[in-house]
Structure 1
Amino acid sequence: MAKKKKKVDENNSVLATNRKARHDYHIIDTWEAGVVLLGTEIKSLREGKVSLVDSFATIDNGEIWLQHLHIPQYSMGSWTNHTPKRTRKLLLHRNEIDSLMGKVRDGNRTLVPLKLYLKNGRVKLELGLAQGKQDYDKRQDIKRRTEEREVTRELGRRIKGINA
């Protein structure tokens, strides 16, 4: 009997992640927000073309806007194509926006996009409330990761019976 092929679920997939955000910031809390897009933008996203690098969110007049999200023009588009780095509106509930406004205003914090993904055919953005890391914090994180990596290697060697 032949094996069944696994279906790739196009309605629930990660389009892009912002790995640098977790390196440069302490992520305090996260929210899921919808993104208002044009037709050619969603088609370009489904092709897997998007960059979250250098993007951030701002709060203006009680609305949250995503700045510098780069979605290249759709390859099959014509005069209807979009501007690649236009400002895009994020969709959140009013009480979530109000709490974010208070948290951003209170301290030295910013809103950083962490992940862009499809959920039931809709584009969602994982938005993080972040506080910048100092250089020594980054060095401590790198040191901690290398120590954890060495410990797991040593445990693996002991389990396999290799003396090092």
Structure 2
Amino acid sequence: MGVINRMATAIAGSALAALVLMTIAAVIARYVFDAPFHWTEEVSGLLMIWIVMIGAIVTERDDQHLTIPVLVDVLPPRVQAAVSLVVTGLSVAILGYGAWLGWLLAKAAESKLTGVLQFSWFWIDLAYPVGSVGIVVFLLAKMLRDLRTLLRGDH
């Protein structure tokens, strides 16, 4: 998991840095030199989608997704683990199905090209299945922890 952690953080950070630098360069080119970069919209859209999906992986890794634990927090640890196991299992099923549909979408868009740079929409559409699978990896690890708590009564 350490390799996945570092890789997800490095990719998201690098993409964000590239997006910021590219946006600054595009603004300067457009308003200072009156020579806009026409490709920046496509690249920034691609980077933004990938940043969001990889950011979702990192957020799941750090267990920082929005939750409302008011009711669950008052339950005993084993019941909390059981509730978490059910909710996480549903999340895995939904994300797994979404990843499959996203893969089908990406494959269907393989021959469709973007307007300016003419690269395949496959790379844009691939962000969702990759992000979903990345989240599922961390959810499965969480399910194993919850299952251990449920079976052994670990705290």
TM score, norm. by length of structure 2:
0.24
Higher strand share goes to which structure?
1
Of the two structures, which has the highest relative contact order with CA contacts closer than 8 Å and spacing of 6 or more? Answer: 1
TM-score w.r.t. the length of structure 1 is 0.23
